[in-house]
Amino acid sequence: MNYKTLILGLGNDILTDDGIGPRLVHDLSQMINNKNVQFDTACCGGLEIMEHIKGYEKVVFIDAFHTPEGNPGDVFYFVPAEFRETSNLSNLHDINFLTALELGNTLNMDLPSDLHIIAIKIIEDLEFSEEFTEPLKKRYPGILEEVFKLVNQVISV
């Protein structure tokens, strides 16, 4: 693998706001030109996510987020030590993200030690639609700009 960093958008692009991660990663891939960075999307969590991230030195997850804090479209940044459940990193039918990481490391899966999570507060992720809800649609250019800045900070370190 030539890539050292993975920017991974999590979510399902036909479940309204849940598609924010994949959409952001698609747009970021057009904006960031760095030969050490790979862009990908996934619609999974828990143990399944370990297969996507093994072999990289650094991973930035971009995911949808339900939280009582803030407003739809607000961008949150954290690392695993501050982990809060996002929509896709932890799957209801699987073990949670931190347990999956611990297990992957125990099994010597060559997982990255430098992990970052960017989560966007969403409204709807259970309704079938390829369109975001109106508040997210209106805020999308600002969300993209904020996420772009965060990703650039992470990949330049």
User: Residues 59-74: pLDDT tens digits?
Assistant: 999 999 888 889 999 9
| 47 vs 98: CA distance, rounded Å | 10
Owning domain of residue 138: 5-155
Domain total of the chain? 1
pTM for the model: 0.88
Average pLDDT, the chain: 87
User: Residues 101-155: pLDDT tens digits?
Assistant: 888 778 888 889 899 999 999 997 778 989 999 999 999 999 999 999 999 999 9
Are 59 and 155 in contact by the 8 Å Cβ rule? The answer is: no
- What is the CATH classification number for the domain harbouring 51? 3.40.50.1450
